[in-house]
Chains A and B, each alone.
Chain A
Amino acid sequence: MNTLTAKKPATSLNLKWLKLAPITVIVLLAVLSPVLGTFDPERVVADPSLSPDGDHFFGTDPSGMDIYSRVLAAAGRNLLIATGAVVLTSIVALAVGLLTGMNESRSGIRAYLARGASRVLDLFDAVPAIIVAMVFVALYGVSPTTLVVSIAIIMVPAQARLVRTEVLRIRGEGYVDAARMSGEGEFTVLVREVAPNASWPIIENASYVFGVAVILTAALGFLGIGLPPPTPEWGSMISRGASDAAVGRWWSALFPALALSLTVGSVALASSLIRTRR
Chain B
Amino acid sequence: MNRLLNRTLGTQRWWVTRILVLPLHLLVFAVVTFFLVRAIPGDPVLAVTDGDITPEQYEAVKESLGLNGSIPEQLARHIGNVATFDLGDAMVSGRPVLEEFGSRLPSTLELVFLALLSVGIFSLFASALIVFRPKNPVSRVLFVYARTAGAVPEFVWGVAAIFLFYATLHWAPAPLGRVAGRMRMPETVTGFPLLDALIEGNTRAAVSMIEHLVLPIAVLTIAQSALLTKVLVSGLQEATSAAPTRFRIASGAPRSAVVTSMYRRAAPPAVTIVGQMTGNLVGGAVIIEALFGLGGMGQYAVDAINSKDIVAIQGFLIVISVLTLLVFLLIDVATMALDCRRRPGAAGVAL
Contacts and interface: CB of A to CB of B under 8 A. Distances in A.
Interface of A: 120, 123-124, 126-132, 134-135, 137-140, 211, 215, 218-219, 222-225, 235, 238-239, 241-242, 245-248, 250, 253, 257, 260-261, 264-265, 268
B283 A135 contact: no
B175 interface: yes
B14 interface: no
Contacts of A135: 36, 313, 316-317
B160 interface: yes
22 contacts: A123-B25, A124-B32, A127-B317, A128-B280, A131-B283, A131-B316, A131-B320, A134-B302, A134-B305, A138-B305, A138-B310, A139-B37, A211-B150, A223-B298, A224-B302, A235-B155, A239-B155, A241-B159, A245-B167, A248-B168, A260-B153, A265-B151
Given A219-B153, A253-B163, A225 B305 contact: yes
A218 B154 CA distance: 11
Interface of B: 25, 28-29, 32, 36-37, 39-41, 148, 150-153, 155-156, 158-160, 162-163, 166-168, 174-175, 275-276, 279-280, 282-284, 286-287, 290-291, 298, 301-302, 304-306, 308, 310, 313, 316-317, 320-321, 324-325, 328
A260 B166 CA distance: 23
Contacts of A124: 32
A257 B163 contact: no
Nearest to B302: A223
Contacts of B40: 139-140
Contacts of A120: 28
B163 A134 contact: no
B324 A246 contact: no
Contacts of B159: 238, 241-242, 245, 253, 257
Given A127-B324, A131-B317, A257 B160 contact: yes
A73 to B, nearest CB: 20
A135 B301 CA distance: 9
Nearest to A242: B159
Nearest to A133: B283
A128 B283 contact: yes
Contacts of B39: 139-140
B153 A218 contact: yes
Contacts of A224: 290, 302, 306
Contacts of A137: 305
Nearest to B327: A126
A120 B275 CA distance: 17
